[in-house]
Amino acid sequence: MTSLTTSPATSPGTSPTSPTVRRGPAGLLREVVRRPSAGVVGLLVLICAVMTFLAPSFLTYGNWYNLAQQMVFVALLAIGMTIVLITGGIDLSVGSVLGLSAGVMAYLVNQGMMFGLCLLLAVAAGAALGLVNGLVVTKLGIPDFVATLAMLGVAGGLLYLWTGGVPFTGFMIPVYDTLGGVTPLVGDLTAPILAMAVIAVVVAFIMRRTSFGRHAYGVGGNREAARLSGVDVGRVRVTAYVLSGTLAACAGVLLAGRTTAVAPTIGVGYEIQAIAAAVIGGAALAGGRGRVLGAVLGALTLTVASNVINLASVSPTWQPVAVGTILLVAVGLDRASASLSRRLGRAAPSR
């Protein structure tokens, strides 16, 4: 007599040894801890449900249109931050790189240079600063935290010295009105929203479908194993910082066009929002995990939180408190997720 063996059905991304998630509140909490990004959508839905009753204007088209406009800059920074976090690094300089690149753009436009060339040089400036970060980390062996913290001070200080404490103004020309979103492209669609969407799709494709993306996840997951597999770890990490600097520069150029002025402090605080958005979206501080969609959802979560503070007539000074609290919760979930994954790995029966 022949015995038949059946195996449990599996879905993509799961294995037969993966524990079944129990239904109910306990199972839901377990899933959120195991996948922190899964809680982002739930948090957004909860906020929207509560605000619908407390502030009817929250769900209006005008309010969400403004949210989309405001989240662009944090989303671009968060996408770049996610790339760096995936490789096991961190970039604290994105806010200052944003500001200095915006200053380069404003200054060159005021000098009468061709707009396209101004845009190219401003983005190149951000990429160059990212390259310096990457080389300092990989060639000099300086920890990511220290190297990018130093760049935060250098880039921010250069912008302040350059402006003399006085904002750059007078650089808004018709084409910059369109690029900055002051003038919509088609209907209500603005250039910053379109740029963010295109960049998100392109970066998601790079991270999921190219050798660089696969190598980036490998380097973040186990740097030594990646090196033994023939991956040029240094090149991957440098490329991640260059991409982060490039996206920070793009955010700076768009933000300058949106605000119509480049203040010496234009980029202050954006690095914290970028890290918070990336971690909320599921990027692991230890490396090896992260998604572009998660970064965008994280940026939307922070923007919605700020919007709630405004609609509730709470002082804007509470916004940093909200961002810090959300970041703390996200990091806590990230650590809990890592701990739970290790325990589940040890508990899985050997086959």
Residue 19, classified by CB atoms within 10 Å of its CB into exposed (0-12), middle (13-18) or buried (19+), is exposed
Among residues 81, 79, 75, 107, which one has the least CA distance to residue 94?
A: 81
pLDDT band at 104, cuts 50/70/90?
very high
- 3-class secondary structure, 314: coil
Q: 325 in a domain, yes or no?
A: yes
**For residue 121, what pLDDT is reported?**
98
Cα 311 from Cα 328, distance rounded (Å): 24
pLDDT at site 177: 94
pLDDT on residue 41: 67
Residues in contact with 165: Cβ distance below 8 Å, sequence separation at least 6, in sequence order: 264
Query: What are the CB-based long-range contacts (under 8 Å, 24+) for 67-70?
Result: 67/300, 67/303, 67/304, 67/307, 68/193, 69/181, 69/190, 69/192, 69/193, 69/258, 70/303, 70/306, 70/307
Reported as half-sphere exposure (CB side, CA atoms, 13 A), residue 340 has a value of 17
| Burial label, 101 (beta-carbon count in 10 A; 0-12, 13-18, 19+) | buried
φ/ψ (deg, to 5) at 168: -75, 130
Residue 220 predicted with pLDDT over 90: yes
Instruction: Judge whether 21 lies within some domain.
Output: no
Using pLDDT thresholds of 50, 70 and 90, give the confidence band for residue 76. Answer: very high
Identify which has the larger pLDDT, 312 or 245: 245
Least-confidence region, from 67-81, 240-254, 286-300: 286-300
The yes-or-no verdict on residue 212 having pLDDT over 60 is yes
Predicted pLDDT of residue 31: 57
Lowest mean pLDDT among 81-95, 102-116, 267-281: 267-281
Output 105 or 314, whichever has higher pLDDT: 105
Task: Show the beta-strand stretches assigned E in 111-203.
Answer: none
288 within a domain of the structure (yes/no): yes
Query: For position 132, what pLDDT does the model report?
Result: 98
Position 120 pLDDT exceeds 90: yes
Within its chain, how far is the Cα of 44 from the centroid? 17
pLDDT at 253 over 80: yes
| Phi and psi, residue 262, nearest 5° | -120, 100
CATH number at residue 215: 1.10.3470
Calculate the average pLDDT of the chain.
86
Q: Is residue 158 part of a domain?
A: yes
pTM of the predicted protein model: 0.86
Residue 322 within any structural domain of the chain: yes
* Farthest-apart Cα atoms in the chain, separation: 89
Mean pLDDT computed over 234-258: 97
> Look-up: residue for tokens 């965008």?
296
Q: Using the predicted structure, report yes or no on whether residue 29 has a pLDDT greater than 70.
A: no
Least confident range of 12-26, 56-70, 295-309, 325-339: 12-26
- Contact yes or no for 270/152 (Cβ under 8 A): no
What is the average per-residue pLDDT within 136-143?
96
Per-residue model confidence (pLDDT) at position 9: 39
Higher pLDDT, 275 or 15: 275
Residue 17 lies in a domain: no
277-317: per-residue pLDDT in tens? 998 888 988 899 999 999 999 999 889 888 888 887 777 78
Question: Count of CB atoms within 10 A of residue 296's CB?
Answer: 25
pLDDT in tens, 161-190: 999 999 999 999 999 999 999 999 988 899
Q: How many domains does the chain fold into? A: 1
| Domain containing residue 262 | 39-335
Residue 351 lies in a domain: no
Residue 7 forms part of a structural domain: no
**What pLDDT shows up at residue 106?**
97
Please report how the helices 270-280 and 94-110 are oriented relative to each other, as an axis angle in degrees rounded to 10. 130
Q: Pick the more confident residue, 67 or 55.
A: 67
